[in-house]
């Protein structure tokens, strides 16, 4: 009994620790997000939050629903792998509301040179050019129609 | 092409239907998308990359990537002769505005687009103390912006340098493989914008995906294989000098 | 920036605050190990520093999480580390190691050792102080010999558990760096061990200095037997620490793997001042030379005090430099091994120099308060003893 009396303070200490533990468990139960662990060791709601982001690029299939003529022209030329928004920029807003949102065509000189300016690191066989000597001061699309850029007889003026 | 009102009225329903699936919501509740049916990866074909930077710009616009930070970027390599272990590399503004002409110095020159490798055994998700960066059941590594502490351990742990600290959100950030697009049946913004088809989204669980045939018939590499991260970013014709 | 770096690498992620953190926890571990020398290994000579070492450890442990909180992008979410800890993450597990060490080891040990004084002070103090002491008694005023014997026994067990706990506390920090395979400057199995031994070195040096300073402030003679013993343990620990660091260096140079050329260049340029000058020459070789001299030759008391104080001070500076070189150095080179960046340390921002300096001073302020509340020393006699040397 004397032993017990002499260790009473340790029992109180243990009590404090137990209280702390209980508090911790309560905190953990109440404050952990509900969806945590639903699909794995993360907050399940995050998936929905991340997927809910609105898209900026509509994707060429959506463009082609309305603009099938341009799509057909492009499909037979050298730019067949170039998707619409690659040049025209993100147009989901336009697809959503074609009447009000009008796409702005980028500046031709900057646009074409981004891909076609001469660079030693570009793959062999990829059409590259030194713009100035080639164009004689004219914009690229004076001779090369962007939707079908190959030069036909009579294109060069 | 200008459409008259009648044409617009006819085409609108078709466009709306096409658009509707784009706007469908939750990946786990969406009737069109089941996470268990997909295992996402990406194929990058070095022989086709022209370093135009369209992917970098498209990603920035699609995902509001802050200026000076990159979810994807392009590196230009110059390897002179046999010095494979000492390439000259540059990436001006991540390749966002393309590349200046470069010296005509022979050797071997090529572009390497980089992005998150969406590793199967990602070191980033291993070290995250709270589970704010994680793998989705369909193989995409994501960051939970509402849970991340901003401790930046994951940024340190990524061997590929694809993570950054978002200056406004104050959390880690990186390529999401355009999760908000691929769960709606679209491709990623970078793949959509790539003019040469150098970047292709790959669904490794889809037996009809062209990646399977490609992997069988081409010499394909991943970055830093010795670190065994389980990278799902496959490169065609990746030179040994690429870091 | 020099050479090529991945675009996202140019900006450093972990600042001086993250340098401070392993430095502070290292001091905690080291101070505690010194305290445990007396308690568990019965090194009687260092008894005068026992309580001081424990209070020092507590003061630094309280401040240790603060640089982390200042660094976080969302400090308000830090509780998540306790709510949903990711078990694979060393950082998450560290939260629990810290909590364990603070509560179950340090606080309990201090409480058990001080209980008699707490009870006496609870009975004799008035006002707010009295309230504090009465709260600290947890309502038990039993300081009979039997109770004190039990306290001593339990305290011994706690200290025993405390030694591996202290190892874990700082070893874990080393592991947080050492387990990052992406970073060859950090990734080595030696990292936790090097961190631990450098922690012990810095902690012992700190207690040595604190003892000398507090003796001077209290105008009390320095117990030279105690000081000599602390210096001896400092020397032994330093020899082990130095050997480990040399092993790492030699191994790197010899194996010369893919990262070596880049790291070597970095050490000789970007880290020349902090690593070669401060950490190695000033912070390791000089104190080692001083300490070995003091072990090999007889010096007067005054000379020994000067040697020890200088060695201890240089040691602490050197260990801080070591933390700097690990944390900052690990971010100065590109993971492509083709380039380097620089660390632009701000002065006044959240992660700048000023907060770091404030956080360095804060533990001493807390220690002062702790010493006032829990005096490590018995009440002095009114005779002032001049602490002059003579030998």
- Cα separation of the two ends of chain B: 46
CA A134 to chain CA mean position, Å:
35
What lies within 8 Å, CB to CB, of B215 at 6+ separation is: B234
Sign of CA dihedral B97, B98, B104, B109: positive
Over the Cα atoms of chain C, what is R_g?
A: 22
DSSP secondary structure, B204-238, as one string: TT-TT-HHHHHHHHS-EE-S-GGG-----EEEES-
Measure C125 CA to nearest chain A CA, in Å.
Answer: 21
What lies within 8 Å, CB to CB, of C300 at 6+ separation is: C389, C390, C391
Nearest to B189 by CA among B96, B32, B73, B60: B60
**Strand runs (DSSP E) across chain A, as ranges?**
none
Q: B-contacting residues of A 6-45, CB under 8 Å?
A: 33, 36, 39-43
Same domain, A81 and A47: no
Distance CA B100, CA B78 (A): 14
Question: What is the complex's ipTM, to 2 decimals?
Answer: 0.91
Is residue C206 within 8 A of residue C360, CB to CB? The reply is no
Inside any domain, residue A27: yes
Is residue C174 within 8 A of residue C330, CB to CB? The reply is no
| Both tokens assigned to B186 | 């679209």
- CATH number, residue B107: 3.30.70.20
Burial state string for B53-77 with b = 16 or more CB within 10 A and e = fewer than 16: bbbbbbbbbbbebeeebbbbbbbbb
Who among C86, C140, C149 is closest to A12 (CB)?
C140
Same domain, A33 and A70: no
CA C121 to chain CA mean position, Å:
30
Is residue C64 within 8 A of residue C102, CB to CB? The reply is no
- pLDDT at residue number A156: 47
Who among A43, A55, A123 is closest to B22 (CB)?
A55
Measure A115 CA to nearest chain C CA, in Å.
Answer: 22
Residue of B nearest to A36 (CA): B131
Inside any domain, residue B167: no
Show residues of chain A in contact with C86, CB under 8 Å. Answer: 41
- pLDDT at residue number C132: 93
Residue B23: band (very low, low, confident or very high) from pLDDT cuts 50, 70, 90: very low
Distance CA C217, CA C187 (A): 44
Show residues of chain B in contact with A41, CB under 8 Å. Answer: 131, 134
Count of structural domains within chain B = 1
- pLDDT at residue number A105: 80
Please list the ranges in chain C whose pLDDT falls under 70. Answer: 379-391
* pLDDT tens, position by position, B115-156: 999 999 999 999 999 999 999 999 999 999 999 999 999 999
Same domain, A64 and A133: yes
Please list the ranges in chain A whose pLDDT falls under 50. Answer: 154-157
- How many CB pairs lie under 8 A apart between chains A and B? 174
Inside any domain, residue A147: no
pTM of the complete model: 0.91
Residue of A nearest to C155 (CA): A10
- The residue range of the domain holding A107 is 60-142
Inside any domain, residue B165: no
Task: Residue C249: count other Cβ atoms within 10 Å of its Cβ.
Answer: 12
Who among B89, B149, B170 is closest to C4 (CB)?
B89
- pLDDT at residue number C389: 40
Chains near C (3 or more Cβ pairs under 8 Å): A, B
DSSP annotation of C350 reads T
Is residue C58 within 8 A of residue C370, CB to CB? The reply is yes
Measure A122 CA to nearest chain C CA, in Å.
Answer: 20
Inside any domain, residue B8: no
Inside any domain, residue A153: no
Inside any domain, residue A154: no
Measure B39 CA to nearest chain C CA, in Å.
Answer: 23
DSSP annotation of B24 reads -
Same domain, A70 and A126: yes
Residue B1: band (very low, low, confident or very high) from pLDDT cuts 50, 70, 90: very low
Residue B215 has pLDDT above 90, yes or no: yes
With CB atoms and an 8 Å threshold, state whether A31 touches C144: no
Residue A64 contacts B, CB cutoff 8 Å: no
Residue A6 contacts C, CB cutoff 8 Å: yes
Show residues of chain C in contact with A2, CB under 8 Å. Answer: 146
Distance CA C172, CA C193 (A): 10
| Both tokens assigned to C145 | 């010999």
Count of structural domains within chain A = 2
- pLDDT at residue number B103: 74
Distance CA A1, CA C296 (A): 56
Higher-pLDDT residue of C76, B26: C76
Show residues of chain C in contact with A30, CB under 8 Å. Answer: none
- The residue range of the domain holding B67 is 35-118+190-236
Is residue C285 within 8 A of residue C276, CB to CB? The reply is no
Inside any domain, residue A7: no
Inside any domain, residue A8: no
Inside any domain, residue B52: yes
Inside any domain, residue A83: yes
Distance CA B70, CA B56 (A): 8
Same domain, A17 and A83: no
Measure A137 CA to nearest chain B CA, in Å.
Answer: 20
């Amino acid at each position: 009994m004397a032993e017990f009396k002499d260790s009473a303070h340790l029992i109180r200490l243990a009590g404090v620790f137990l209280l702390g533990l209980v508090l911790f468990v309560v905190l953990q139960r109440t404050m952990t997000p509900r969806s945590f662990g639903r699909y794995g060791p993360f907050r399940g709601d995050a998936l929905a939050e991340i997927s809910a982001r609105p898209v900026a690029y509509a994707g060429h299939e959506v463009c082609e629903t309305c603009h099938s003529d341009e799509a057909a022209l492009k499909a037979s030329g050298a730019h067949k792998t170039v998707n619409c928004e690659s040049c025209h920029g993100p147009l989901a807003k336009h697809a959503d509301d074609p009447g009000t949102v009008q796409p702005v065509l980028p500046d031709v000189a900057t646009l074409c040179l981004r891909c076609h300016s001469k660079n030693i690191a570009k793959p062999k066989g990829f059409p590259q050019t030194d713009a100035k000597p080639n164009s004689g001061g004219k914009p690229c699309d004076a001779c090369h129609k962007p939707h079908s850029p190959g030069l036909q007889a009579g294109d060069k003026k | 092409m200008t459409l008259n009102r009648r044409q617009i009225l006819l085409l609108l329903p078709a466009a709306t239907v096409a658009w509707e699936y784009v706007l469908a919501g939750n990946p786990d509740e969406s009737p069109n998308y089941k996470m268990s049916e997909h295992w996402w990866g990406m194929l990058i074909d070095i022989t086709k990359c022209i370093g135009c930077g369209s992917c970098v710009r498209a990603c920035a616009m699609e995902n509001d990537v802050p200026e000076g930070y990159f979810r994807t970027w392009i590196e230009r390599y110059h390897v002179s002769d046999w010095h494979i272990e000492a390439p000259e590399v540059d990436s001006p503004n991540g390749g966002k505005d393309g590349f200046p002409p470069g010296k005509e110095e022979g050797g071997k020159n090529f572009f390497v687009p980089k992005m998150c490798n969406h590793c199967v055994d990602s070191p980033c998700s291993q070290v995250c103390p709270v589970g704010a960066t994680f793998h989705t059941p369909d193989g995409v590594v994501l960051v939970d912006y509402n849970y991340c502490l901003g401790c930046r351990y994951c940024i340190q742990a990524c061997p590929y340098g694809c993570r950054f600290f978002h200056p406004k959100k104050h959390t880690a950030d990186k390529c999401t493989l355009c999760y908000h697009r691929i769960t709606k049946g679209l491709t990623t913004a970078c793949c959509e914008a790539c003019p040469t088809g150098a970047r292709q989204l790959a669904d490794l669980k889809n037996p009809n995906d062209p990646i399977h045939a490609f992997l069988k018939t081409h010499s394909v590499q991943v970055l830093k294989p010795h670190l065994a991260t389980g990278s799902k970013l496959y490169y065609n014709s990746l030179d040994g000098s690429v870091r | 920036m020099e050479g090529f770096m991945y675009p996202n690498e140019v900006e450093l992620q972990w600042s001086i605050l993250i340098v401070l953190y392993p430095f502070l926890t290292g001091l905690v571990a080291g101070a505690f190990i010194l305290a445990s020398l007396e308690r568990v290994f019965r090194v009687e000579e260092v008894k005068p520093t026992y309580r001081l070492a424990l209070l020092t450890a507590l003061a630094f442990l309280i401040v240790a999480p603060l640089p982390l909180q200042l660094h976080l992008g969302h400090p308000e979410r830090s509780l998540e580390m306790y709510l949903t800890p990711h078990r694979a993450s060393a950082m998450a597990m560290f939260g629990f190691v810290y909590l364990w060490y603070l509560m179950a080891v340090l606080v309990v040990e201090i409480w058990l050792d001080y209980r008699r004084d707490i009870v006496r002070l609870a009975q004799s103090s008035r006002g707010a102080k009295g309230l504090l002491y009465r709260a600290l008694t947890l309502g038990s005023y039993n300081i009979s010999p039997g109770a004190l014997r039990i306290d001593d026994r339990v305290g011994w067990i706690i200290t025993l558990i405390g030694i591996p706990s202290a190892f874990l506390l700082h070893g874990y920090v080393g592991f947080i760096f050492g387990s990052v395979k992406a970073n060859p400057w950090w990734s080595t199995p030696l990292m936790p061990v090097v961190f631990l031994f450098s922690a012990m070195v810095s902690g012992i040096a700190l207690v040595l200095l604190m003892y000398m300073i507090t003796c001077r402030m209290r105008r009390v003679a320095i117990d030279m037997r105690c000081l000599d013993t602390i210096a001896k343990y400092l020397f032994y620990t330093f020899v082990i620490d130095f050997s480990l660091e040399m092993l790492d260096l030699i191994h790197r140079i010899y194996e010369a793997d893919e990262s070596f050329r880049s790291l070597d260049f970095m050490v000789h340029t970007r880290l020349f001042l902090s690593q070669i000058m401060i950490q190695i020459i000033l912070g390791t070789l000089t104190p080692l030379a001083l300490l070995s001299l003091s072990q090999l030759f007889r010096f007067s008391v005054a000379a020994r005090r000067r040697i020890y104080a200088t060695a201890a001070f240089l040691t602490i500076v050197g260990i801080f430099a070591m933390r700097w070189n690990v944390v900052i150095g690990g971010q100065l080179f590109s993971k492509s091994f083709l380039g380097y960046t620089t660390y632009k340390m701000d002065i006044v921002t959240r992660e700048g120099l000023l907060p770091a300096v404030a956080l360095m001073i804060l533990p001493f302020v807390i220690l002062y308060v702790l010493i006032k509340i829990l005096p490590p020393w018995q009440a002095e006699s009114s005779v002032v003893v001049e602490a002059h040397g003579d030998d």
